[in-house]
Structure formats: structure tokens, C-alpha cells
Structure 1
Amino acid sequence: MQIVRHSAPGYEEARIGRVFNARRPSRYPLAVVMARNTADVIEAVQLAIRSNCRVAIRSGGHSWAAWSVRDNSVLIDLGEFKTLQVDPAALRARASPSITGKELNGRLVHEYGLMFPGGHCPDVGLGGFLLQGGMGWNCRGWGWACERVEAVDVVTANGDLVHCNKDEHADLYWAARGAGPGFPGVVVQFHLSLIKNPVFRSSGYLYPICEYRRAFDWILSLTPGYDADTEITVVAQYPEGREELCLFILLVCMKPTAEEAEQALLPAQQSRPDGTVEEWFCKEDSLHAQYENQGKANPDGHRYCADNAYLANETADVAAVLEEAFTTLPHRKAFALWYAMDPCSRRPLPDMALSLHSDHYFALYTVWEDATDDERCTAWVQGVMQRVASHSVGAYLGDSDFQARQTQYWSEENTQRLTAIRRKWDPEARICGYLGMEYVSSTRPWRDGVGSTL
């Protein structure tokens, strides 16, 4: 186990080198542990206990708020802890948290003809993604990625290793599917249910932004009841090679055969409004190509400010509510997104911490390069979200920053249940948890946990 202590050579790289957002935080762990296996994680937690300090965990480093970088903590960095075992006959896999969606599917697709609906951005690690619920590939039809987590292996806040599923330590298993960074332990292994890799076909319709209302209203009317194997997204963006802001509507169909995909995509093709500046129908596509596109839209080494909301199902005019967000982007690399969640949003969820969603997922991904643009870009995001908030029923944990804005992330019942589970498994508040949110406990408050012996 490699330990990089504060002020030691390599500390700054260990502290923030794997943080995706170039807006790096001014927070300083006492030490960073580069864990390579479960034994290292156990030893790191025990080190924190002996040193009277707290524990933070980094899987992929993709959190916009850099939740893993915490003052006076032992940061357990899982970047070098990569394991994957696949049972293709049983459609099962075991994977460590720092495995990214692209790494996982790179093996599953090419070696086994299988797939897991991980994060859209290729370098998102499984750990944060699944703990926060996992709005993965075709979430509207296939459901949340965390629903495919059958068990987790966890190092608890007191350094014990436990296996958790619906029968063993069921409360931790419940929390592991939606608690996010408030999970009261360190997941070291996810046990996953896989699917057979489908055929990918896509249709795309690019409109000038002056057609925003007509095009957006069309897709909003089309989505309810649309083929459940088709992911439907609306994006405001400045396309590569074009000067003008555009509205891009993308349908990605994932079916067993190309013929089935064509039939699924046909209703959109037949009903689309005219006026596109570019379009294609049922183009041959792939998971690899989608990762390439997502990587370009989310470039490394850039500054990010993200926020999101679930719009209430009864919102009368979704296009009007989102018009400012989609038509006034503050930077050419920024984009606004609407993601269809129906029919997933209309069915009862399994018994798990994740408990909040709606038909309409909306997110802002404001991307820029120059630190002098920080105030302008973040103020734009804050202003837009303030005006959207009255139409919102909450937000997705994975695209949230509690220091910038707080809203509802779980149902009231699940919030109380999660608080009780955290209190039970981590009474000393060893795990850092939610950045900027107070731990709700009537018996034991969060401690600062400043260690002096590290």
C-alpha cells in the first residue's frame, strides 16, 4: 500500500491528478492511499481509525464537485485497484469500483458479446456511478444501472469486510443502490447482472435554434409510448464546424437485429418536422462510437459547472420552461440536455435508496477553459437553475453539487431510512459523506476528525 502524505513529493498529483473537473478544490487530505486491492482498503480504513480522522473515497474522479477531496481525511484512491471477473454463461460479472464503463464494456463486448449499461461518458468509474443510481445507457427502457447490482462487497467504517445482498446485510445493499457518497463504507466489488450486446442504430436530427419550440414540442409529443429500446435525447450545442447554436435530437436504438431497430426508428423519421440542417436515419452505430462522441462532448482538462433537475410530470410546457437554458449557452463547449425517462419513470422502483425521478431529466453541462470565465459561467448556471427550480421535483445525485444548490434527492421516507442506516453503520461519522450537507442525527453529530498522528 502506497501512502502519500501531505507535503510529501507527489502529494499534489495524488490529491487532484485524477480529478476530472479542472476547477480543482482547495481542500487537502492528510494523506492519499493508493489502494491496489481489498487488503489495502482495509488497512487504509484502520489507519484513519488510529489517526482519528475521516475517510474519503475516489473511484473514477469524475464527480463535478470533487467529493473525494476532503480536508483532514485519508483519501483512498482506487485508481490502481482494477479487477474484473466475467461469467458469460450466467450473464454475471464482478468488477472493482474504478473500472470505467468503457473499460468494462471494452472487454464485455469484444470478448463475450455482452454489455453493462454503465455511464455515457467513457471515463466514468463504476463506483460513484452505481452508488448514485446510474443513469446509464437507455435508462428509460432498461431501468437504472444500480438495479443490475446483485451484491456488493464492502469494507465498513470500522474496517470489516462484509458481503451484502438482499439476504445478507440487506440494509447496506439497499443503501448501495442510490446513497451516493453518503454510503457508510467502501465498496470494493460490485456483482453485476449483464445483458447481451445489442445492435446499435441511430437517427439524428439537427435543427437551427430558431426551430427550438417546433422541434422540441415534436419530440415531447412522440416520446410517451415510444419503443422502450430507444434512448431519446435533446441537446442544445454548437456542433463542430458550425458557428450557430443548434438543437440536436438523437435517437439511439439498441435491438437484437438491425431490422428491428429500423422499425423502431421509423415513426420518428416519418413524423419529424422539416427544417433540419443535417439528419440521418437508422445509421449503423456502436457503443464504441457513442463513447467517442461522449468523450468529445466532455473533454478532459476543462472547467465544468453542472446542475440538473427532474421536471414534474405535470409540467404544462416543458419547452418553455427550458427555453432559456437551451438558447443562451454561455460558451461554445457548453451544452444543455433533456433526457426522456418514460417509461422507467412510470413504473414502481425496486426497494432501494434511489427513489426519485420523473419523465423529464434536464441537465446543464457548462464547459470552458479559462479560469477568468468562472464567475460568468457559474452565474449563468445558477440563474437558469433558480428559474427552473419551481418546476422541479428534485435532482439526480450524480450531476449535483450540494455546495452550489440543495434540493430533494430521495423520497422523504428513503431519506429518513438512509439516515438511520448511516447512523447504524458509521456512528463515528468516519466516512466523509455529502460535501456541504449536514449529517442528520439526533444522537451523534459529524465530527471534524482532525487527526494528529498521521
Structure 2
Amino acid sequence: MEKPLKSSDNNVGAVDHGTLPIVRRKAAGFDEAVWGRVYNARRDTSRVPRAVIRASSITHAREAVELANREGCRVSVRSGGHSWAGWSVRHDAVLLDLGGLQEITYDDTSWGRMFAGGHCPDVGLGGFLLQGGMGWNCKGWGWACESIVGINVVTADARELYCSAVENADLFWAARGAGPGFPAVVTKFHLLTRPLLEMYNCIYVYPQSMYRTVLQWVIDTSPTADTDTEMVCVSRRSPDEKEIQIIAGYTTFKPSKKHAEEALQAVHDSKPPNAIVEIFCDPTTLDVEYRGQIDAQPRGFRFCSENAYIANDADVPSVLEAAFTTLPTQKAFALYFAMNPTSRRPLPDMALSMQSDHYFALYTVWDDAADDERCTAWVHDMMRKVERESVGSYLGDADFQHRTTRFWSKESGQRLMEIRKRWDPEGRICGYLDAEDKSGVDGLKNEFEWEMPDR
């Protein structure tokens, strides 16, 4: 059953100036409107939208879709501009920039709550939630998209609807895991929050020679660790650029330092010897952690990212060794993100259906365009080395233009593509940016490249 939004729900917290805020090609400020909020400085400037609409109201979003229908073109959607491949910039499409829709309404009798969003401070909620949301302590608290209870959307034929588990349920199902192929424009999320707790870190830095020992330690401690504790293993170059270091990080969310120490003590007691740096239960905050993310992934640099879920029964240290120990630039880093126990529990009925105990991602960072070929080739080579030990990938750190893999279970992938065709049969909403941007209404194939018969 479709439920159009009530008029009182429209334009909440936004100003509608009565005219569409549109910047056409060749107009002053067009390039800035297209690229100004794109995080990655490595850009394909051959993709030129026909116009950019900087929405500050739901009305603007609807009118942008109406415009695309009148002009017979597609509409692309930007939330935070953080996709590494620049998914929102599509050739000859109307680019709908939702950066102006920033209102948050909250029950002010219930302060002391949080929402476990992205680890980078400028990641927009739209893209983050649509692709599933690997947010803070995903391994213990689950996927961020599981906290969505409803969405407001503008459909491909410019209707304003509300979607939930009981209203327009197929769109709601798709919104939790479809990623950039969602066949409508989300203008509002209705989310559950959780208690705001204190944060404490344990950090252990080791030489590269300890790689296998340290990564295996993180893997082994994950299943039985406190469920409010996030854990990662990161490979990065030391500040003096002389060697690669292996860092194990444990971040716990607790009501007090005493509770945090109790949660982290077993991990600390089991740590491998010979750490270069050892920090136990150090207080931190989201603001501090966000600053660290900005330092690791600075705006204005060039990025190439990819990822894989490694099979639960794989020899993970062996599979990831080349990627963790051959970083091509000073700022490049490899990430192992422990997902057990979230990966071992049944998922809710939603599009997101791909996970394993072991999430791996590469973030290659550099500043000189002359290094583009070298750095991207390294990423693609590393992914070929791990692909056959993978069960699939996460949408958020992927680039469909250069790599074909699985992002959903077979059944969920098929269901998602059917929903896309049902709600957007003409392909009005730009879908997945694959090679030459030709996936269209059909969407992604959801299969490994090495399994495809023509490869």
C-alpha cells in the first residue's frame, strides 16, 4: 500500500525559495557544483552532468526528478560525496545534491543517545545507510541500516512516499542494502538511537615482522571479546617512512573507565610481546577519533579503494600478507575489520545479505596524478590475489567500473534487481556506475568475474 506524505511532512526544517536552485552547464560555478563536494581528488572529468540541483527542501528533490522526466534524462543523487568512484557524477544526468538536507529532529527528553554512523566525519548518512552502514562497532551492534524504521522517498515518477516494514515494504527492504542502485531518492531517514557511552582505546603497534602473529591475535580474540568492543588490525608506514607497522586497535563503548578496563583486560593480557607502542584503556571521544580519520584520509588527495569479505575458513594472514606488507605509498593503509559475532547471527529480512567474519579493505592514498597508474594497478593486483578466497564484497568501498564480484546473496541480488525494475522501469534514477555506465535497469550481475563464462 502506498502512503503519500502528508503536506505537514513536506519541507520540514528547510526553506523553499519557490525556484529550483539549478546550475546548468557552462554557467558560473558549474564545475564547483559538480566536484566541490567530491572527496576523491582522482576524478573522471569526462563525465559531465547536464545540470546540478543543490536541494534545500524535499520539494527541490521532487522537482529535480520531475525535471529529469521532462528532459528524458537520468537523475543522479549525492549525499556526502564520499564514494571513492564519484558515483554521483554521471554524464548528461541531472545531479541532485542533497547536501542541504541536514535537519535532525530528536526527542529532547531523551538526551544521552547516539547513532553509530560512519567512521569518517563527513560521510553522508544517505550513501552510508543505503549500502548497509559498517558503522561504529558493527561487529557487536550490527549493521547501521538495521536501525532504520522508515524512510521518506521521491520515486522515479516523482511521487512522495513513506516506506516501512508495512508500507511500500519492498522499497523499505531494498533501502537496507541496495547501495547506489536504490531506485528512488531518499529524503529522510527515521532511525533508532542507542545510549551514548564513554569511549576507551587499546592500541598496540608492532613491526612488520610480527604481521602474522598480530593479525591472528585479533582474529582469535574477536568471537569472545566484549560485544561493545570494536577491533581492527591496520598496516601503515611509520612516520619516518622507513618501515611498515602493524597496529591492533580495540575501541570499547562503556559507561565508565572501570567497565572499560573490565572489558579490555582479557585482550590486554593476551597481547603478543614486543610491541613498539602499548596503550591500555586510554579515554577518547568521537571527535578525537574523527580527527584521526581525517589525518588518515585527507581531503584533496587521490584515492583508490577496494575490499573483500574473506571466507570464514580461509587462512586469513596468508591471504592478506601481500596487501599488508607491500603498501605502495606513505599514506596507503590496509584494514582488517573483525565482524564476528555480527557475521554469525541471522540477518533481518533486508537487501544486505553479504558478510563474513573477516572484512578486508585497501585504502591507497597519494597526491601526484603521475602515480595514478602505479597505485591503481597495485590495488587491482592485490584484489586478484585475494578474490578466490573471498565470499563477496561490501558496496561502500567498491568500484564497479573495475571489478566484478558479489555484493548480495544470490536470492537477495535477484530480488533487488526485480524491485529496481518495478519501481524504476525506465532507469530514471542512476544506478550502479559500472564500466561505461551501462548497467542501467538491469543493475549489477552479482557474480565473481572469474566465474563468468566469457572470462
Range that drifts further, 58-67 or 74-83: 74-83
State the shift of 1:407 in Å.
0.3
For 1:13 and 1:72, the matched residues in 2 are separated by 17
Question: Aligned to 1:24, which of 29, 43, 63?
Answer: 43
> Are 2:39 and 2:84, in contact at CA under 8 Å, matched by a contact in 1?
yes
Which residue of structure 1 lines up, in the alignment, with residue 317 of structure 2? 319
Q: Identify the residue that residue 251 of structure 1 maps to in structure 2.
A: 250
State the shift of 1:441 in Å. Answer: 4.6
Q: Secondary structure at the match of 1:84?
A: coil
What's the CA shift for 1:243?
3.4
RMSD (CA atoms): 1.3
Pairing of 1:38-57 with structure 2 (within 5 A):
38-57=58-77
Cα 1:220–1:43 shift into 2, 3 Å: same
Unaligned regions of 5+ residues in structure 2, if any?
Answer: 1-19, 444-455
Match of 2:94 among 74, 81, 84: 74
| CA drift at 1:238 | 1.8
Question: 2:439: which partner in 1?
Answer: 438
In structure 2, C-alpha distance between the alignment counterparts of 1:199 and 1:256, rounded to whole Å: 6
> Does 1:60 pair with 2:60?
no
Q: Give the whole-Å Cα distance in 1 for the aligned partners of 2:358 and 2:53.
A: 40
Q: Counterpart of 2:117? A: 118
- CA-to-partner distance for each residue in 1:283-340, whole Å, 9 max, x for gaps? 111111111111111100000000000000111x211110100000000100000000
Q: 2 CA distance for matches of 1:385 and 1:404?
A: 11
Q: Which of 353, 367, 370 matches 2:368? A: 370
SS at match of 1:87: coil
1:240 Cα deviation (Å)? 3.6
Contact kept, 8 Å, 2:153 with 2:184, in 1: the verdict is yes
Of 386, 389, 393, 1:388 maps to 386
Amino acid in the other structure paired with 2:52:
V
The one-letter code matched in structure 2 to 1:412 is K
Instruction: Answer with 5-14 or 241-250: which moved more.
Output: 241-250
- Pairwise CA distance, 1:273: 1.0
TM-score normalized by the length of structure 1: 0.91
1:362 alignment partner, SS class: strand
| Paired AA for residue 21 in structure 1 | N
Cα distance in 2, alignment partners of residues 75 and 2 from structure 1: 12
Letter of the aligned partner of 1:74 in structure 2?
Answer: V
Correspondence for 1:299: 298
Give the superposition deviation at 1:81: 2.1
Residue 8 (1) aligns with residue 27 (2): yes
Counterpart of 2:107, as a letter, is: D
Matches within 5 A, 1:12-411: 12-25=31-44, 26-89=46-109, 112-240=111-239, 243-315=242-314, 317-411=315-409
- Matched AA of 1:294: Q
Aligned to 2:418: 420
**How far did 1:256 drift?**
2.2
The one-letter amino acid of 1:165's match is S
Helix, strand or coil at the partner of 1:22: coil
Letter of the aligned partner of 2:406 in structure 1?
Q
* 2:4 alignment partner in structure 1: none
Instruction: Give unpaired runs (5+ residues) of structure 1.
Output: 92-111, 443-454
* Alignment deviations for residues 382-420 of structure 1 (CA, whole Å, 9 cap, x no partner): 000001001000000000000010100001111111111
2-structure distance, mates of 1:135, 1:215: 23
CA distance in 2, matches of 1:205, 1:241: 18
Amino acid at match of 1:431: I
Q: Distance in 2 between matches of 1:136 and 1:10?
A: 34
Query: How much does 1:381 deviate?
Result: 0.3
2:374 alignment partner, SS class: helix
**Structure 2-normalised TM-score?**
0.91
The share of aligned pairs that are identical, in percent, is 54
Deviation, structure 1 residue 257: 2.3
Deviation of residue 88 (structure 1)?
Answer: 4.3
